[in-house]
Structure 1
Amino acid sequence: MRSRMLPNPPLTLALAVLWLMLNNTLSVGHLLLGLVLGWVIPLLVKEFLIDVPKVRRPLKLCLFCLKVFYDIVVANLHVAKLVLGPRGRLQPAFVEVPMAIEHSFVLAVLTSIISLTPGTVSAALRPDHKVLLIHALDAPDIEALVAEVKSRYEAPLLEIFECSRM
């Protein structure tokens, strides 16, 4: 019964605190209104909320975030060099990457990382979630790109999260 009446307690608390911060007050009226909004909003959107898997290795997640940030900086420099250089050097390509990830949230994280990294964008995901289509600005070696995505991003995400098919 508790889960039906209070579907997401952390979200309820976060929305109430956000309401108090936006109003810059700790009055009883705003506290009550924040709690009511924090209770009603999750009830209204509970069908749209995605299940986030448990993080198995929090330290590895922190290191992974640093690696992704580093990759974004390096990719920015690489794309700047490609764009400012001769146009004939670019070898754009669509690449199909087979996916071992089955959880919707973790797939969304992977596609976001790929799209955030300059020079690549997640273009499509097959309905069965087994193949991700990526567009790369410069992909001279397609097999190397597939291996890099799988080893650099997919494998660590599988280690970090407890994922099963959702």
Structure 2
Amino acid sequence: MLVLNLLLAIIWLVLQTSFTWADFVVGMLVGFGIIGMTEATLTWQRPFSDQQAKRGYVGRVMKVISFSGFVIWAIIKSNLDVAWLVLNPRAAYQPGIVAVPLDIQSDLGITLLANVITLTPGTVSLDISSDRRTLYIHAMNVQDPDALRAEIKGEFERRVMEIFP
């Protein structure tokens, strides 16, 4: 579907007889709208799971956009938390390593989760167990390891699993 969306954007550019980034973005949006309205009639096989296929192209794109917004917000929030710890000399912080059990099955999902955790300031993904069931994370401030695990599983892993189960 992404290839079809790109093709529709290129057709849009040719019809507009101008080749600017703004026209390309408008073409992508027009293509996205066309695909959204006609997706039920497009019947070729999709290389996704049944759950993802039911959601369709438009639903998957919306999930990716929502996930991107969540990651940006998490990065901003973590930046503020780390800045507070660094600038406040009396702040008591307790670094630690936490093992987080994983429900994600795919290599792409595990990689995305580990990278998003590393992108947020104050946390680094260290290692994954050999059976790919546990992710080890170093956090700058681990007051409550169970709360950190719950946050990673409830926020980060859940959202990654919506995209890559």
Per the normalisation by structure 2, the TM-score is 0.63
Superposed structure 1 runs of 4+ greater than 6 Å apart: none
SS, match of residue 103 in structure 2: coil
- Give deviations 1:9-59, integer Å, cap 9, x for gaps: x8xxxxxxxxxxxxxxxxxxxxxxxxxxxxxxxxxxxxxxxxxx7493221
Q: Which one-letter code corresponds to 1:80 in the other structure? A: A
> Which residue of 1 is the match for residue 157 of structure 2?
154
Q: Which one-letter code corresponds to 1:132 in the other structure? A: L
> Which residue of 2 is the match for residue 59 of structure 1?
62
Contact 2:85–2:91 at 8 Å: present in 1 too?
no
Greater RCO, CA 8 A, separation 6+:
1
Q: 2:119 aligns with which of 93, 116, 119?
A: 116
Q: Which structure 1 residue ranges, 5 or more long, are not aligned?
A: 1-9, 11-52
**Change over 3 Å in CA distance of 1:58–1:94 after alignment to 2:** same
SS, match of residue 132 in structure 2: coil
SS, match of residue 100 in structure 1: coil
> Which residue of 2 is the match for residue 42 of structure 1?
none
Q: 1:135 aligns with which of 134, 138, 145?
A: 138
SS, match of residue 89 in structure 1: coil
Shift of 1:87: 5.8
Contact 1:58–1:160 at 8 Å: present in 2 too?
no
Q: Which structure 2 residue ranges, 5 or more long, are not aligned?
A: 4-46, 53-59
Q: Does 1:69 align with 2:69?
A: no
Q: How many pairs does the alignment contain?
A: 111
CA-atom RMSD in angstroms: 1.8
Q: Aligned residues: percent identity?
A: 41
> Which residue of 1 is the match for residue 93 of structure 2?
90
> Which residue of 2 is the match for residue 20 of structure 1?
none
Shift of 1:139: 1.0
SS, match of residue 106 in structure 1: helix
**Which structure's residues are more often helix, by fraction?**
2
d(CA) in 2 for partners of 1:105 and 1:155? 14
Contact 1:72–1:116 at 8 Å: present in 2 too?
yes
> Which residue of 1 is the match for residue 109 of structure 2?
106
d(CA) in 2 for partners of 1:88 and 1:154? 29
